[in-house]
């Protein structure tokens, strides 16, 4: 059980040397603070890092037993289009427009022949609607021309589609084809760096670093859980460290408020969490 901790704010060397800090902060976070705040510990052996990562992944499964893909879809085509539309907006907003979109354009053939003005009108609430109309029209045309209107179930094919990178491809593979994939979005990258699992910034390098730490069969669910944690607890601006079940293993503990009462107020409910 985490002791009641210090007030909010990142660890500093002054705080690290104070007796109160030493009593209240887990040793891993203390060592990170002594390194100047860098969560990645180059001295941690690959075996130790793998064990810690697996322990944290198990804990995340307990913290977020309800983690799932927050985009609504009934098939691979719908998921692919919804994922492309989710750029720069919330899943909730995408879920508001996709019922109308897929009622009118249920497959790649129908979407490829869509009237641009009507399509833009439907996509308006998602923002950047002209660019998004272009993206999904191009995507539908490519599916029709090169894949007979079907969404391919291989990474190598998916990334040849316009507007589809590894992140989108992994969402589709993991959730529509049951092919394990790590979805490195903004939450995922931020959290695994805070966990000290990698120091990489490039999403492809982050993906390979995490792939080495966790068994392949867990990749898709781990991605959902870490994204849930990023949306609800480990926020970009104010991480709710004092209310976080990963604190014991996390070298970044202390970058957000550690007082449990203050931190608990920062935890977002599922209904309020879909803001990024
Ligand atoms: S909320 Fe704090 S303790 Fe929890 S994972 Fe984020 S940085 Fe680590």
For 213-267, write each residue's pLDDT tens digit: 999 999 999 999 999 999 999 999 999 999 999 999 999 999 999 999 999 999 9
Instruction: Provide φ and ψ at 239, rounded to 5°.
Output: -70, 135
Ligand 1 contact, 194 CB (< 6 A): yes
Catalytic (active site) residue 185? yes
Asked if residue 3 is part of any domain, the answer here is no
Which structural domain range is residue 63 located in?
A: 13-67+183-273
Same domain, 92 and 165: yes
CB-based contacts of 22, cutoff 8 Å, min separation 6: 16, 30
Asked if residue 1 is part of any domain, the answer here is no
Per this entry, what is the length of the chain?
276
Ligand 1 contact, 228 CB (< 6 A): no
Same domain, 203 and 230: yes
Same domain, 141 and 269: no
Instruction: Provide φ and ψ at 234, rounded to 5°.
Output: -95, 70
Pocket test for ligand 1, best of 9, 247, 266 (most atoms within 8 A of CB): 247
Ligand 1 contact, 182 CB (< 6 A): no
Per-residue pLDDT band for 9 (boundaries 50, 70, 90) equals: very low
> Packing angle between helix 203-213 and helix 46-63, nearest 10 degrees?
90
> Three-class SS string for 190-242?
HHHHHCCCCCCCCHHHHHHHHHHHCCHHHHHHHHHHHHHHHHHCECCCCECHH
Instruction: State yes or no: pLDDT of 148 exceeds 50.
Output: yes
Question: Which regions of the chain does DSSP assign to beta strands (E)?
Answer: none
Boundary-marking domain end, from 176, 208, 236: 176
Catalytic (active site) residue 72? no
Structural domains in the chain (count): 2
- Kindly give the distance from the C-alpha atom of residue 166 to the centroid of ligand 1, in angstroms, as a whole number: 26
Ligand 1 contact, 246 CB (< 6 A): yes
Boundary-marking domain end, from 161, 176, 191: 176
Same domain, 89 and 157: yes
DSSP result, 48-84: HHHHHHHHHHHHHHHH-TT----S--SSHHHHHHHHH
Same domain, 172 and 187: no
Q: Which of 66, 185, 216, 238 is catalytic?
A: 185
Q: Give 239's DSSP letter.
A: B
CB-based contacts of 275, cutoff 8 Å, min separation 6: 90, 231, 268
pLDDT at position 176: 98
Same domain, 193 and 253: yes
Same domain, 146 and 105: yes
Instruction: State yes or no: pLDDT of 19 exceeds 60.
Output: no
Q: What's the pTM value of the predicted model, to 2 decimals?
A: 0.88
Same domain, 52 and 90: no
Q: Which atom of ligand 1 is nearest to the CA of 247?
A: 3
- Kindly report the CA angle at 132 between 124 and 162, in degrees rounded to 5? 165
Same domain, 107 and 53: no
Tokens of 144: 């029709």
- Nearest Cα residue to 183 out of 150, 210, 158, 156: 210
Ligand 1 contact, 56 CB (< 6 A): no
> How far apart are alpha carbons 191 and 189 in whole angstroms?
6
- Kindly give the distance from the C-alpha atom of residue 74 to the centroid of ligand 1, in angstroms, as a whole number: 34
Q: Which atom of ligand 1 is nearest to the CA of 194?
A: 7
- Nearest Cα residue to atom 6 of ligand 1: 234
Helix (H) or strand (E) holding 92: helix 91-104
For the segment 33-60, the average pLDDT, to the nearest whole number, is: 93
Same domain, 172 and 80: yes
Per-residue pLDDT band for 15 (boundaries 50, 70, 90) equals: very low
Ligand 1 contact, 233 CB (< 6 A): yes
Boundary-marking domain end, from 176, 197, 230: 176
Residue 31, CA distances (Å) to 24, 39, 42, 259, 274 in order: 13, 9, 12, 20, 33
């Amino acid at each position: 059980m985490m002791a009641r901790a210090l007030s909010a704010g990142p660890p500093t060397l002054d705080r690290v040397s104070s007796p109160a800090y030493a009593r209240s902060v887990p040793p891993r976070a203390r060592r990170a603070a002594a390194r100047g705040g860098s969560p990645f510990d180059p001295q941690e052996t690959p075996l130790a890092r793998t064990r810690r990562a697996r322990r944290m992944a198990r804990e995340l499964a307990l913290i977020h037993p309800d983690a799932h893909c927050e985009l609504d879809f009934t098939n691979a085509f719908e998921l692919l289009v919804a994922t492309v539309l989710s750029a720069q907006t919330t899943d909730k907003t995408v879920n508001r427009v996709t019922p109308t979109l897929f009622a009118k354009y249920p497959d790649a053939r129908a979407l490829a022949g869509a009237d641009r003005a009507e399509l833009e009108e439907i996509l308006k609430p998602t923002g950047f609607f002209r660019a998004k109309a272009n993206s999904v029209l191009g995507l539908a045309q490519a599916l029709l021309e090169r894949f007979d209107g079907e969404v391919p179930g291989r990474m190598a094919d998916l990334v040849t589609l316009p507007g589809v990178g590894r992140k989108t491809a992994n969402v589709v593979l993991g959730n529509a084809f049951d092919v394990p994939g790590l979805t490195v979005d903004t939450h995922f990258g931020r959290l695994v760096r805070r966990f000290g699992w990698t120091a990489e910034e490039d999403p492809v390098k982050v993906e390979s670093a995490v792939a080495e730490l966790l068994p392949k069969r867990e990749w898709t669910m781990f991605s959902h859980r870490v994204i849930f944690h990023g949306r609800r607890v480990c926020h970009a601006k104010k991480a709710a460290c004092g209310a976080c079940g990963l604190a014991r293993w996390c070298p970044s503990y202390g970058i957000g408020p550690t007082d449990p009462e203050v931190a608990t107020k920062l935890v977002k409910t599922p209904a309020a969490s879909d803001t990024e």
